């Protein structure tokens, strides 16, 4: 009892940010799920981002923890969140959209994690994707709840792909001093932009627990972010803005990459190459572009993160590199000729190997590198050492003379091994080769992370391959620890083959899970009752 009281007193304040825009139907459910958290030390910012008046809904909760920012004009999600952040006093910040839902233990789970993990300033949990059908009266009918991703933190993956929704995420307020707040120029992928910046400064801790749901309508979506995505031009502009955002330094968790461009006198290729790098590079970079003074005004590109380096017209390739190197801010340097082919992962494969290499003095040739178009990535210190000690040698020879081992990346050194195996398993299933899929999932479960989630996928694959004993063992194991609707349904199907009675329990549990949001979170709310 004493211990519990002590814990209660020590509960740090959490600021929950809930922007809303014309969703009177779903807002009560979302807000109710925050108000009914097991964790009580909250300040709950509901920010009306224009649209319908929702003050009656807010007032009906009669909860002093709710701070209502009632703004009639629509200024966008990023602006709304920033408005709340300006007033937030919590040690931690959590987010909820007005059509999503926390489970009662969501805040408590993430706070406990962050309080225990001093090395992480961000924690995130798993969420169900809740497929809903919208009825004629705008009511939602939950059709399925699927855990379609449960992925441990991988900095490279976060830089490349948006897989951590903000509904599942909590971070310290303090870290925003380093990352900055939300980018109000963006109207889509606003969350990913901040998540990506967070990854420059801290590790994230993944809690393998389902603590909420995000809404996914069947058919045409009314989600604002989805509507924006339909405007492809706008989406791409946002996407590229995010990928080229460089928060203020120092970056304790990211090695900055400087790309030194060598041009071989063919300036017309430069523009295309720069655009191509912009399109295909997800790792943070700056391009150092050696140019003669007379060429400065001629370059017609508005690409961010380009640093021009003035060079003389007669400068050799090595002199150009040395001049650029003197200006480089990066911890790692890629040296790339202008005509080098640029595609997805063109530099990141070798870069990943370099960053994770435990060997000193190693340089990695890029995969598409040839003798004519030779490109390499290496640590800045190694390059500086080689150039300082062997300035008269051509680049490659100077590296060798400095004792730097130049090699190609091996297959097992490239990033996203886990994701590649996952895709292979899924592709095998798609082709009907369920046994291969099951074995691949089994291999992933043994060698990588997210074991429970992967074991569930393996069980499903074994079932489809007709290997019911293996499927039954696996799915039972998973459901003992973290039951999901899918896995309970599978266990019931397998039990039913022997005895229908034993299938009833998992099915009833699955039905309860599907009914959860309505039966437990909302039914006692005055607003919800009135709506019914």
Partner 1 sequence: MDITQNNTEQPSGHGVPAEPRQENTTQRYEVLQELGDCHTSVGNYDQAQRCYEKAASVGPDEPGPYVGLGVVALQKNLLDDARIAFRVACRLDPDCSKAYAGMAMVAQQNGDYKSAFDMYLKSLELDTDNLTSLLGLFQTSCRMGSFVQVTHYLEAYLDMHPGDTSVMFSLAALYMKDGRAEQSQKILLDILTLDPTNQDVANLLEEVEHKLAQRESTE
Asked if 229 touches partner 1 (CB under 8 A), the answer is no
Q: What is the three-class DSSP state of 336?
A: strand
At residue 213, φ and ψ (nearest 5 deg) are -140, 145
What does the alpha-carbon distance between residue 346 and residue 352 come to, in Å, rounded to a whole number?
Answer: 11
What does the alpha-carbon distance between residue 85 and residue 504 come to, in Å, rounded to a whole number?
Answer: 48
What is the token pair recorded at 319?
């002199």
User: Closer CB to partner 1, residue 161 or residue 528?
Assistant: 161
Residues 227, 326, 405, 504: which binds partner 1 (CB under 8 A)? 504
What is the token pair recorded at 208?
């393998």
Q: Where does this chain touch partner 1 (CB under 8 A) — which range of 17-25, 75-83, 284-292, 294-302?
A: 294-302
Asked if 124 touches partner 1 (CB under 8 A), the answer is no
What does the alpha-carbon distance between residue 196 and residue 149 come to, in Å, rounded to a whole number?
Answer: 18
Asked if 76 touches partner 1 (CB under 8 A), the answer is no
Asked if 489 touches partner 1 (CB under 8 A), the answer is yes
- In the block, which residue shows the tokens 């400065």? 296
What does the alpha-carbon distance between residue 397 and residue 405 come to, in Å, rounded to a whole number?
Answer: 11
What does the alpha-carbon distance between residue 21 and residue 478 come to, in Å, rounded to a whole number?
Answer: 39
User: Closer CB to partner 1, residue 278 or residue 462?
Assistant: 278
Rg (CA), the chain: 27
The answer to whether 398 and 391 have CB atoms below 8 angstroms apart is yes
Q: What is the three-class DSSP state of 187?
A: coil
User: Closer CB to partner 1, residue 164 or residue 398?
Assistant: 164
Minimum distance, C-beta of residue 234 to partner 1, in the bound complex (Å): 9
Cβ neighbors of 501 (< 8 A, separation 6 or more) are none
Sign of CA dihedral 104, 107, 108, 113: positive
Asked if 366 touches partner 1 (CB under 8 A), the answer is no
Residues 22, 71, 131, 225: which binds partner 1 (CB under 8 A)? 131
Alpha helix segments (H runs only) across 10-76:
27-35, 55-61
Region 252-281 residues binding partner 1, contact defined as CB under 8 A: 275, 278-280
Minimum distance, C-beta of residue 72 to partner 1, in the bound complex (Å): 33
| β-bridge partners, 44 | 16, 66
Residues 3, 4, 297, 300: which binds partner 1 (CB under 8 A)? 300
What does the alpha-carbon distance between residue 293 and residue 313 come to, in Å, rounded to a whole number?
Answer: 9
User: Closer CB to partner 1, residue 135 or residue 265?
Assistant: 135
Q: What is the DSSP letter of 13?
A: -
Minimum distance, C-beta of residue 192 to partner 1, in the bound complex (Å): 11
What does the alpha-carbon distance between residue 51 and residue 298 come to, in Å, rounded to a whole number?
Answer: 47
- Count CA atoms within 13 Å of residue 269 on its CB side: 13
Minimum distance, C-beta of residue 129 to partner 1, in the bound complex (Å): 8
Q: Where does this chain touch partner 1 (CB under 8 A) — which range of 76-84, 392-400, 403-411, 497-505?
A: 497-505
Q: Is 230 exposed, middle or buried (0-12, 13-18, 19+ CB in 10 A)?
A: exposed
User: Closer CB to partner 1, residue 98 or residue 419?
Assistant: 419
Least Cα distance to 170 among 121, 237, 103 occurs for 121
User: Closer CB to partner 1, residue 321 or residue 351?
Assistant: 351
Residues 68, 161, 251, 390: which binds partner 1 (CB under 8 A)? 161
Q: Kindly report whether the peptide bond that precedes residue 118 is cis, defined as omega within 30 degrees of 0.
A: no
Q: Where does this chain touch partner 1 (CB under 8 A) — which range of 66-74, 353-361, 384-392, 508-516?
A: 508-516
Q: Where does this chain touch partner 1 (CB under 8 A) — which range of 359-367, 432-440, 457-465, 507-515?
A: 507-515
Q: Where does this chain touch partner 1 (CB under 8 A) — which range of 68-76, 177-185, 197-205, 409-417?
A: 409-417
Asked if 218 touches partner 1 (CB under 8 A), the answer is yes
Asked if 49 touches partner 1 (CB under 8 A), the answer is no
Minimum distance, C-beta of residue 206 to partner 1, in the bound complex (Å): 17
Asked if 344 touches partner 1 (CB under 8 A), the answer is yes
Q: Where does this chain touch partner 1 (CB under 8 A) — which range of 53-61, 197-205, 248-256, 506-514?
A: 506-514
Q: Which residues bind partner 1 (CB under 8 A)?
A: 131, 133, 141-146, 148, 157, 160-161, 216, 218, 232-233, 236-237, 239-240, 275, 278-280, 282, 300-302, 344-345, 414-423, 485-486, 489, 492-493, 496, 500-501, 503-504, 507-508, 510-511, 514
């Amino acid at each position: 009892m004493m211990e519990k009281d002590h814990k209660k007193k020590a509960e740090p304040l959490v600021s929950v940010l809930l922007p809303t825009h014309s969703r009177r139907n779903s807002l009560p459910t979302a807000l109710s799920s925050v108000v009914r958290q097991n964790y009580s030390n909250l300040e709950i910012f509901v920010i009306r981002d224009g649209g319908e008046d929702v003050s009656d809904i807010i007032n009906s909760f009669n909860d002093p923890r709710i701070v209502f920012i009632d703004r009639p004009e629509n200024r966008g999600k990023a602006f709304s969140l920033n408005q709340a952040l300006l007033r937030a006093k919590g040690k931690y910040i959590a987010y909820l959209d007005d059509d999503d839902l926390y489970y009662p233990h969501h805040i408590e789970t993430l706070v406990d994690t962050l309080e225990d993990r001093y090395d992480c300033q961000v924690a995130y949990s798993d969420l169900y994707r809740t497929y809903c059908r919208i009825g004629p009266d705008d009511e939602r009918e939950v059709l399925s709840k699927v855990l379609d991703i449960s992925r441990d933190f991988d900095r490279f993956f976060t830089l490349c792909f948006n897989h951590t929704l903000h509904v599942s995420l909590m971070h310290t307020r303090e870290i925003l001093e380093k990352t900055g707040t939300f980018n109000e120029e963006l109207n889509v992928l606003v969350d990913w932009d901040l998540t990506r910046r967070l990854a420059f400064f801290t590790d994230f801790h993944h809690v393998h627990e389902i603590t909420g749901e995000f809404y996914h309508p069947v058919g045409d979506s009314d989600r604002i972010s989805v509507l924006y995505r339909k405007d492809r031009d706008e989406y791409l502009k946002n996407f590229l803005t995010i990928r080229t955002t460089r928060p203020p330094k120092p970056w304790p968790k990211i090695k900055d990459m400087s790309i030194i461009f060598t041009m071989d006198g063919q300036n017309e290729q430069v523009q295309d190459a720069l655009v191509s790098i912009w399109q295909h590079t997800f790792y943070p970079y700056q391009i150092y572009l050696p140019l003669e003074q007379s060429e400065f005004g001629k370059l017609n590109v508005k690409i961010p993160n380009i640093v021009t380096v003035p060079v003389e017209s007669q400068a050799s390739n090595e002199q150009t590199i040395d001049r650029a190197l003197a200006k480089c801010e990066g911890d790692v340097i890629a040296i790339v000729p202008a005509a080098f082919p640029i595609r997805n992962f063109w530099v990141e494969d070798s870069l990943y190997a370099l960053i994770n290499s435990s060997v000193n003095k190693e340089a990695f040739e890029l995969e598409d590198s040839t003798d004519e178009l030779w490109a390499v990535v290496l640590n800045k210190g190694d390059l500086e050492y080689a150039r300082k000690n062997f300035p008269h040698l051509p680049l490659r020879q100077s590296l060798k003379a400095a004792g730097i081992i130049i090699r190609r990346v091996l297959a097992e050194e490239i990033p996203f091994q886990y994701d590649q195996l996952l895709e292979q398993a899924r592709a095998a299933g798609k082709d009907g080769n369920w046994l291969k899929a099951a074995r691949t999932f089994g291999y992933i479960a043994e060698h990588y992370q997210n074991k429970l989630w992967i074991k569930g996928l393996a069980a499903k694959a074994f079932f489809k391959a007709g290997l019911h004993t293996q499927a039954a063992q696996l799915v039972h194991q998973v459901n003992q620890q973290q039951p999901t609707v899918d896995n309970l349904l599978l266990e019931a199907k397998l039990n039913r083959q022997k005895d229908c009675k034993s299938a009833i329990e998992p099915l009833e549990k699955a039905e309860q899970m599907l009914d959860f949001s309505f039966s437990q979170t909302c039914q006692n709310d005055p607003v919800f009752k009135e709506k019914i």
